[in-house]
Structure 1
């Protein structure tokens, strides 16, 4: 147990030491207080060395003053390393020139040299080191001309502390670069997450708009049909027509409920399959859209010359056709003639919905009496989401046209053009 406690204490001490090394000395907390304590801590062994050393080199009053004064600037060594170095040299150089104990001020000198190297550039460090060595060698030559070993020892200590400071500086830069890259990576991940959330919200908004606008429009038309049958001739009430209109409304509600449940399940990210949950419709759902539009009174003619497409492209095409047919039913007048074409052209799925609406502007939602919606905007966004384009606008001969080109790459098609369904009038549908 005691060994575990000692190991944990050693780890914490090591972590604190590494944190102090990694920390930028110019932004470290409590740096002035810590440097003041450091100055006192170095002054104590310096005093002890001066007292316990050679009695012939023991400092006098001036020597003690210079020795202790040389430790005072260490309090501001991180904020102003060069002025502190100059102040220390101003005190220590006369101290050595008076031939006092030369080992006592070594701690203060080396600490300030390390600080200059750890906080400055390599060029500045080398210039400072050369200057300090020059002054030191000059003083040693004047006070101890025969001390060759002393010269080498002093030079070695100076060079060692300078290179130690340079090494720590580069290590701090390396750690800062790693931290900066980690911060940028985290910021990038957060931005990517926000972008994905925004895209998902936009996609859900489009799905809800397409689903609700289409379903509500069909329900409104079918309800109008039922109301017209009831009010036209009460004495000769066509119960079968009313029942069929109500059945169509119920079927539209069931379909809308299933698609709405699918969208909400995706929003909640539920992993279990529920009623009505399944893949969003693609090209195989276009006949259902056509059938719903015909029930609402539109005379729809279809020409589908593509068998399949990638799921994303198929879903985009389905939604574009759905929104276009919804606009036709809402804005193109009674029993409008519509042509829906889907074909493959040069590696792209071409979707075209053309109506011959009798109202000004055809099936243009922005030309309607009610407030402008998001139909055209949603269709363009769906086309762009798969790398395609969409054009929509009134036709010179009347009506409205929506054309989308959605790239699909290689799509398997039938050997010959296949028309899924072609119906021009109600009479032809009856046959």
Structure 2
């Protein structure tokens, strides 16, 4: 049964309103109507409390009209400011309570500052504050503290609007950067998955294709004298390769479904890998600590190199794999004496590109090209991090 989440608290609602762009908020007219009603009540309370300058019927009408204009403050912020200033000017000229329209002016100026540019905010603020001070002076309000207090509230509304707008801009930029970082992670993960599947399937499918060709050749050379042992050996080798590919593919998919890296291939799997490709292996890493990431990169590079050798070297070619540790690096060499890949093509395939990416992921390099005397060679150097010395007793 699904859990019912608790309704957001008042503080959470305030923070959500601050974080959200006012021009894209849900139900803007309804929310502004509620705000206008609240501001109208506040202005009415302030005007009614001033017994000396309590508004008459026309004053109440102008005050209510100025508050009603806030319903359209998001759609027409400048228009609302101009109309509100006109209503407030007429209200002040009638000698009504001068402090009552201040909440309307504050909300209208805050909206202009929160939705517009700094230049427009400064221009509107100077005009409105100057007009308010002039109107109050013309109305007979000569107390300096009253004028400063009213103009201070208006300036505070402008400053608050600019601060909120800058805060929302900062949040939008942070959200954009987070989305871009997430997109980069997704792209890197997709690239990693593509490399893993390529290394796995390309190697297995290549071996299956070569051994199927051997079986077909045996069947076609002399149908009357079938070498049943050779055919059975080729078919059994194909079946073994299919089982290994299925097992490794299942392991890879399980790791992806669980969103974990899982156990990485390492140098211990090189003998079996080389044996399936009928290659020769020289492994000299005794006593050298090879990190799992370096071991996995070395395994995948050798795997792709053997795939290319089986595919392109041709029948009868000898493939040699040499893995040594020297000068703080793990050095791999996979060479053959066949005709080499890329006959008639100068564009490297995804396999060579993937080998370079795997080497760079651990800070290493890969060099590929023809060998002296014929054939093709892949040479990689993967740096080994220095191992901390063990503490003496």
2:269 is paired with a residue whose SS is coil
Cα displacement string for residues 123-172 of structure 1 (whole angstroms, at most 9, x for unaligned residues): 32222222222111111222225311101111221122111112211221
Could you tell me how far apart the structure 1 residues matched to 2:19 and 2:318 are?
Answer: 68
The 1:286/1:250 distance shift into structure 2, 3 A limit, reads closer
Cα displacement string for residues 364-421 of structure 1 (whole angstroms, at most 9, x for unaligned residues): 9999xxxxxxxx99994433332344579xxxxxxxx98433232389xxxxxxxxxx
Aligned partners of 1:285 and 1:318 also within 8 Å: no
User: What's the CA shift for 1:41?
Assistant: 2.2
Aligned partners of 2:199 and 2:303 also within 8 Å: no
Q: Name structure 2 gaps, 5 residues minimum.
A: 1-5, 256-261, 286-297, 323-330, 357-366, 384-393
The 1:110/1:287 distance shift into structure 2, 3 A limit, reads closer
Q: Paired residue for 1:321?
A: 309
Matched, 1:23 2:20: yes
Could you tell me how far apart the structure 1 residues matched to 2:341 and 2:352 are?
Answer: 18
Q: Name structure 1 gaps, 5 residues minimum.
A: 1-7, 231-244, 290-303, 329-337, 356-362, 368-375, 393-400, 412-431
Q: Paired residue for 1:150?
A: 146
Q: Paired residue for 1:382?
A: 351
Matched, 1:14 2:11: yes
User: What's the CA shift for 1:308?
Assistant: 6.5
1:57 is paired with a residue whose SS is coil
Summarize the alignment of residues 12-411 of structure 1 with structure 2, pairs less than 5 Å apart. Answer: 12-54=9-51, 56-224=52-220, 227-229=223-225, 245-269=227-251, 279=269, 284-285=274-275, 288=278, 310-324=298-312, 327-328=314-315, 338-340=316-318, 349=333, 351-354=335-338, 380-387=349-356, 388-389=367-368, 403-409=375-381
* TM-score, normalised with respect to structure 2: 0.72
Q: Paired residue for 1:419?
A: none
User: What's the CA shift for 1:100?
Assistant: 0.5
The 1:410/1:52 distance shift into structure 2, 3 A limit, reads closer
Q: Paired residue for 1:238?
A: none
Highest Rg: 1 or 2? 1
User: What's the CA shift for 1:315?
Assistant: 2.2
The 1:287/1:105 distance shift into structure 2, 3 A limit, reads closer
The 1:39/1:284 distance shift into structure 2, 3 A limit, reads closer
User: What's the CA shift for 1:284?
Assistant: 4.4
Could you tell me how far apart the structure 2 residues matched to 1:111 and 1:211 are?
Answer: 75
Could you tell me how far apart the structure 1 residues matched to 2:347 and 2:244 are?
Answer: 19
* TM-score, normalised with respect to structure 1: 0.67
Q: Paired residue for 2:362?
A: none
Could you tell me how far apart the structure 2 residues matched to 1:378 and 1:210 are?
Answer: 20
1:408 is paired with a residue whose SS is strand
Aligned partners of 1:63 and 1:100 also within 8 Å: yes
1:386 is paired with a residue whose SS is helix
User: What's the CA shift for 1:224?
Assistant: 4.0
The aligned length equals 335
Could you tell me how far apart the structure 1 residues matched to 2:178 and 2:353 are?
Answer: 33
Aligned partners of 1:380 and 1:390 also within 8 Å: no
Could you tell me how far apart the structure 2 residues matched to 1:195 and 1:20 are?
Answer: 39
Q: Paired residue for 2:288?
A: none
Q: Paired residue for 2:326?
A: none
Deviating more after overlay: 305-314 vs 27-36: 305-314
Could you tell me how far apart the structure 2 residues matched to 1:377 and 1:205 are?
Answer: 24
Could you tell me how far apart the structure 1 residues matched to 2:343 and 2:368 are?
Answer: 19
Cα displacement string for residues 322-344 of structure 1 (whole angstroms, at most 9, x for unaligned residues): 2235x54xxxxxxxxx5546599
Could you tell me how far apart the structure 1 residues matched to 2:216 and 2:346 are?
Answer: 23
Could you tell me how far apart the structure 2 residues matched to 1:306 and 1:283 are?
Answer: 13
Aligned alpha-carbon RMSD (Å): 3.7
1:26 is paired with a residue whose SS is helix
